[in-house]
């Protein structure tokens, strides 16, 4: 699912992604980023896909028992949400430096990761696509099922929460269109 060009990066990130279903989440977000990149040719594919692969490596630095307090409908600890961003930026910088990633792009990737969940306004088109690819996970059948379970919500409640968030969570028209498409599919899967 990850293109050959980014497979080594994903494998390098994998030890940091074995928490919070982030290994699966990253693959789904990568696929969403590829779809979004096809609609936004002004974006830099290498920046977007690199940032998507590494955006959640910082969750590994947050205790698993505390992670549920840092995201979702019952978030009570925004400090931990921010911590995963700052730690993720640090880890991403280390990984990319080890891999001799282009320094100008390294700085942009790290800046995107350091704020991808908490920054009010995206830094660029690249940032916008990373954020939307990350958030589209929520609407896919797999993401909706996993999140409903971990948030302790009935599917119908979870779907209503997701639908209410589309316009505020997503910034590109293509991501909003995809969210509606995925949510309809998730609803169909939930009734099987």
DSSP string across 129-176 = HHHHHHHHGGGSHHHHHHHHHHHT--HHHHHHHHHHHHHHH--SHHHH
How would residue 49 be classed by pLDDT, with cut points 50, 70 and 90?
Answer: very high
pTM assigned to the model = 0.94
Using CA atoms, how far apart are residues 181 and 106, in angstroms rounded to an integer? 33
**Stretch among 39-43, 63-67, 133-137 having the lowest mean pLDDT:** 63-67
Q: Specify the number of domains making up the chain.
A: 1
Residue range(s) defining the domain that contains residue 112: 4-190
192: pLDDT strictly greater than 80: no
Q: What percent of the chain has pLDDT over 70?
A: 99
Q: What is the pLDDT of residue 166?
A: 96
Mean pLDDT of 166-179: 96
42 contact partners, CB below 8 Å, separation of at least 6: 125
Q: Looking at residues 105-131, what average pLDDT do you find? A: 95
**CATH classification of the domain holding 156:** 1.10.3210.50
Q: What is the mean pLDDT of the chain?
A: 93
120 band by pLDDT with thresholds 50, 70 and 90:
confident
- Given a cut of 70, whether residue 5 has pLDDT beyond it is yes
């Amino acid at each position: 699912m990850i293109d050959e060009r980014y497979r080594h990066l994903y494998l390098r990130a994998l030890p940091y992604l074995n928490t919070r279903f982030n290994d699966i989440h990253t693959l789904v977000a990568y696929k969403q980023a590829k779809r979004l990149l096809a609609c936004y040719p002004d974006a830099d594919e290498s920046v977007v896909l690199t940032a998507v692969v590494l955006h959640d490596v910082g969750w590994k630095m947050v205790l698993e028992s505390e992670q549920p307090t840092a995201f979702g409908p019952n978030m009570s600890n925004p400090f931990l949400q921010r911590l995963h961003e700052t730690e993720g930026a640090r880890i991403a910088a280390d990984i990319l430096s080890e891999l001799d990633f282009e320094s100008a792009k390294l700085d942009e990737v790290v800046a995107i990761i350091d704020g991808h969940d908490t920054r009010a306004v995206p830094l660029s088109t690249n940032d916008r696509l990373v954020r939307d690819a990350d958030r589209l996970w929520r609407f896919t059948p797999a993401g909706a099922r996993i999140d409903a379970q971990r948030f302790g919500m009935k599917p119908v409640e979870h779907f209503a929460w997701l639908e209410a968030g589309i316009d505020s969570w997503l910034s590109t028209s293509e991501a909003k269109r995809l969210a509606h498409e995925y949510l309809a599919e998730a609803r169909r899967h939930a009734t099987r």
